[in-house]
Amino acid sequence: MIKVDHISKDFISPKKYPGLKGAVKGLFSSEKTVKTAVDDISFTIQKGEIVGYIGSNGAGKSTTIKMMTGILTPTRGECTVAGIDPNKRRKENAQNIGVVFGQRTQLWWDLPLSESFTILKEIYNVSDDDYAERMEFLNRVLELQEFFDRPVRTLSLGQRMRADLGAALLHNPKVLYLDEPTIGLDLVVKDNIREAIKEINEKYQTTVILTTHDIGDIEELCSRIIIIDEGKKIYDGSLTELKDIYGTKREVSMEIKQPEKVKELHFARLFGVEEEDCRSEFDKENSVLCVTFDKHKIQAPQVLSAVMDVAEVTDVQIQETELAEIVREIYHHGVIER
Amino acid sequence: MRKSLKIYLPFTLNELKRQMAYKGAFYLFILISMFGAFINYYLWMAIYSSSDKTTLGGMTQNEMIVYVFMVYVTSSVVSISIANFVSDDVVKGTVAMNLIRPIDYRLSLISRAAGNMIYHFLVPSVFIWIGVEIYKVKVFGLPAVSVWNILLYLSSCVMSFLIYVLFDFCFGMIAFFTTYIFGLMMIKNALLGFLTGQLIPISFFPEVLQRAFDFLPFSSMVYTPVMIYLGKYSGKMLGFMLIRQAVWVILLYVLGSLIWKKVTKRLVVLGG
Amino acid sequence: MGIIVMNKCKRYLRLYRVLVSQFLKTIMQSKVDFLMGLFGFFFSQIIGIAFLYLVFQQIPSLQGWTLDQLIFIYGFAQIPRGIDHLFTDNIWLVAWRLVVNGDFDRYMLRPMNIFFQVIAEKLQPDAMGELLVGVILVVRSLTRGVLIVDGPHVVLFFVSIFAGALIYTSIKLFFAGLAFWIKISGPFLQVAYQMSDFAKYPTEIYARGIRFLITWVIPFAFVAYLPASFFLKAGTSAMIIGIECGIAVLFWCIAYAVFERGTHVYESAGN
């Protein structure tokens, strides 16, 4: 459905010098600074996939999305969306895509929401039958009727996001781009939005690409993620694989009746592993022991039985490393080694 | 006096700095503002060449050309719109904050306007003024303006500035009652351009209207200082013109205070 | 081919109606603003007439032009200006804001012509002030009998108005289009637009440089003064209207090409 082929985007700006003198100097100098926001990125996305496109602020996420939607023209490389180059045939491409930019609404601010939909129906040339069918569906998953007659400016952020999502889907686009779709929303609304995206994807086989900082979005929605950093693609694969490679840490917390006995245990030595592959720590009240270890080297039952040998355990919890942490790690260390 | 200078001088300096920061775009706006002067210049040249009289409205062609450019110099220094400031403050909702602070709102506006005035004097008025003087002496062979006349002109300008901003303050109060002050400002600017003598010397108006204008503050805003510069007034007439300006400063000051009292009362009631 | 073009036109007309009627709904809530804006533009143009009137108390004619003739030139200039102002005022926003803050994105995302979207987003009712002045002064000129009234002149009158409005739009679009390269082109647009003030009077009063500038570089002379003389002076060749149309088309093509090219170098915001 989407083919991105060695795409790059440079932003060229005249070199700026400080102060009044600098401004005059700037007028006469032709020095330029080139910033490569997206650097030689390629990927292919199949119909019906939901792909999370993640990276830190300024990594080049939005720039890539803007190139795929036809807003920006790539400096090098090209991409095709549903067989169309968005830059050469912008209008046709626009008919194929739906876009929600979290921070910016594409609705008519002063008009009732219903009017926005009437206008969009005309703009995208949606037939009456399609319109009725689509509205019925959107009303069900997004519950638009609650605020359908209110001016957009009076909607809450959550309502506006639902409205924007509905507006982007009215013409049944083949590809849906979502830029930070859940930013600033409360948990219940987030959940609603995610459910809606899932349902749309299932019902219409809509390809969805979303950028987000919310790890929950990715865990709930994306079967595949692409991570970019400083304009370069550093990971492209499934979520489970990412966790497998990077999320090797596992954590066991145990509530213990006789903590003083456990304190004498030295876990790393006990299992014969490096210090950093197995750490232990008590909480402030000295009742919960938390052991963090490499799941490829040690099994959780081993830890459990070692503790239970010396003390009584009343409660156990085993936790995988959160995706959030993985992502944070990646941002810190850069490229993933495989 | 020193204390209030300490309070209000920063307003002036900030405004001056703010203006300096615009740079590029600002020079283009100067260019635009000069269009009017140049159109008038060519228009008057054509008008004089179409007339068989050497003086029109009491002015020779050379005097008229000096008039056109000195009107530009004077009005760009004198007419600083503080109604814009007021309407900005109302839109941004910072008026209430200004009421809380222990300063006089109007004085703070006038101080800001003073910053603008100084800037406009430096860029570009003073240079055009010098240019006009050189042109006048070299090309027209007219005598250079005397130091005495320069001093009179400058003090008249200061009063013109005060008349303008005090009047504009009263006008700016409308911003409290409507959000779309743009249309009214256009009307005001058009009307002032006409009545202050910017577009055409007051002496071109029919006798009746000239009498009527004597009772309005507008001719004191631009026309009076330029005529003083041209040396058109002397003796008693000169004194009268300056006193009339001073009277307008006082009258408009009092009027502004009265309106401001009414408006703030309303603000307190409604909650600005 | 013809049918496709016609369907496209129909579709865009329909879209225009839908978009504009929505816009009108939102502004009709503020009738007072509308009236003030209208009156503001009306009034500032009327002042110009008062100026001419006062001047003509002193002289019988201005380089061969009578007051009635000058009033016609002045009023005639307002009509194309008003038409352009009414329909394409949103171009100003492109120059000042939409490109630099990234709001231009929304036009790039919809399956419609971008220029169409820009102008369909807004009507500027203030322009009625200028149109009103223009129409009143032209009607006055008719009653004073200073105009040549016959079939070709009437037809060319409307042609000239349309071409004049197109010249206005082209100049605005050209300078607004520069915003794609320099982010904010408002000041330049303002300078260019303000040049139109020169064209309210006979251009032969100006120095040669200025005359050349407003005739061939920023061709406002072709909006008002030059065609107006065709309607005023018997024996003026209709060629002048032909040249006006030629210039309108040429400038439109240049401006549109620049704008279109600009949408491809558009950098959005946030970088």
Nearest residue of chain A to residue C29 (CA atoms): A110
Pick C205's closest partner by Cβ from B36, B42, B189: B42
Q: Which of A9, A34, A90 to mutate to test the interface with C (most CBs of C within 10 A)?
A: A90
Query: Which residues from chain C sit within 8 angstroms of residue B35, using beta carbons?
Result: 194-195, 197-198
Residue B231 has pLDDT above 70, yes or no: yes
CB atoms within 10 A of CB A227: 24
Predicted local confidence at residue C200, as pLDDT: 87
Chain B residues in contact with C185 by the CB 8 A cut-off are: none
What pLDDT was estimated at residue A29? Answer: 62
Closest approach of C171 to chain A, Cα-based (Å)? 25
The DSSP code for C130 is H
Contacts of B among chains (3+ CB pairs under 8 A): A, C
- Model confidence at C189: pLDDT above 70: yes
Q: Which residue of B has its CA nearest to C49?
A: B194
The answer to whether C15 contacts chain A (CB < 8 Å) is: yes
pLDDT reported for residue C126: 87
Least Cα distance to C121 among C82, C88, C167, C165 occurs for C88
Please state whether the peptide bond connecting residue B124 to the residue before it is cis, i.e. omega within 30 degrees of 0. yes
Per-residue model confidence (pLDDT) at position B272: 44
- pTM comes to 0.85
Q: How far are the Cα atoms of A128, A149, A164, B225, C84 from residue A118, in angstroms, in the given order?
A: 11, 12, 14, 61, 28
Q: Chain C neighbours among B 83-142 (CB < 8 Å)?
A: none
Among A69, A110, A125, the residue with its CB nearest the CB of C109 is A69
**Is the CB of residue C233 less than 8 Å away from at least one CB of chain A?**
no
For residue A97, the chain C residues in CB contact (below 8 A) are 109
At residue A180, φ and ψ (nearest 5 deg) are 50, 60
What local confidence, expressed as pLDDT, does residue A28 receive?
60
Which residue among A72, A101, A115 sits closest to C267, beta carbon to beta carbon?
Answer: A72
The first and second tokens of residue B196, run together, are 């202050």
Q: How many CB pairs under 8 A join A and B?
A: 4
3-state secondary structure of A224: strand
| Chain B residues near residue A20 by CB distance under 8 angstroms | 20, 23
Nearest to C195 by CA among C223, C176, C157: C223
Query: Which of B62, B181, B165 has its CA nearest to residue B106?
Result: B165
Element (H, E) at B177: none
Give the per-residue pLDDT at C222: 93
Look at residue B207 and tell me whether its pLDDT is greater than 50. yes
User: How many CB atoms within 10 Å of residue A115?
Assistant: 21
- Judged by a CB distance cut-off of 8 A, whether residue A37 touches chain C is yes
> What average pLDDT does the segment B14-21 reach?
74
Q: Does C14 touch chain A (CB under 8 A)?
A: yes
Q: Which one has a higher pLDDT value, C49 or A330?
A: C49
| Confidence at residue A292, expressed as pLDDT on a 0 to 100 scale | 81
Using the beta-carbon criterion (under 8 Å), do A35 and C271 form an inter-chain contact? Answer: yes
B183 touching C (Cβ < 8 Å): yes
- Comparing B26 with A290, which gets the higher pLDDT? A290
Distance in angstroms (rounded) separating the CA atoms of residues A232 and B267: 57
CA distance A236 to chain C (A): 24
What is the ipTM score, two decimals?
0.86
CA B216, CA C163: separation in Å to the nearest integer? 44
Percentage of chain B modeled with pLDDT above 70? 95
**Residue C105 predicted with pLDDT over 70:** yes
Among the partner residues C15, C102, C268, nearest to A123 by beta-carbon distance: C15
What are the residues of chain B with a beta carbon less than 8 Å away from any beta carbon of chain A?
A: 20, 23-24
Query: Which two tokens mark C63?
Result: 């380089």
User: What number is the average pLDDT over the span B63-72?
Assistant: 94
Answer whether C13 touches A (CB < 8 Å).
no
Cβ contacts of C33 on chain B, cutoff 8 Å: 178-180, 183
B93-132 per-position pLDDT tens digit: 777 777 777 788 899 999 999 998 998 898 888 999 999 9
Residues from chain A contacting residue B24 (CB–CB below 8 Å): 23
What is the distance between the alpha carbons of residues A70 and A67, in angstroms, rounded to a whole number?
5
Window 86-115 of A: residues touching C by CB (8 A cutoff) are: 87, 90-92, 94-95, 97, 99, 101, 104, 106, 108, 110-111, 115
Contact A198, A221 (CB under 8 A): yes
What DSSP line would sit under B140-172, residue for residue?
Answer: S-PPPPPHHHHHHHHHHHHHHHHHHHHHHHHHH
Q: CB distance B24–A23 less than 8 Å? A: yes
Q: In whole angstroms, give the CA distance from residue B211 to residue B99.
A: 41
Beta strands A50-54; A207-211: pairing state: parallel
Closest CA to A6 of A64, A51, A54, A49: A64
Question: Are C108 and A62 a contacting pair at CB < 8 A?
Answer: no
Instruction: Provide the pairing of β-strand A2-14 with A76-81.
Output: antiparallel
Low-confidence ranges of chain A (pLDDT < 50): 336-338
- Decide if A203 contacts A171 (C-beta within 8 A): no
Q: Is pLDDT of C92 > 60?
A: yes
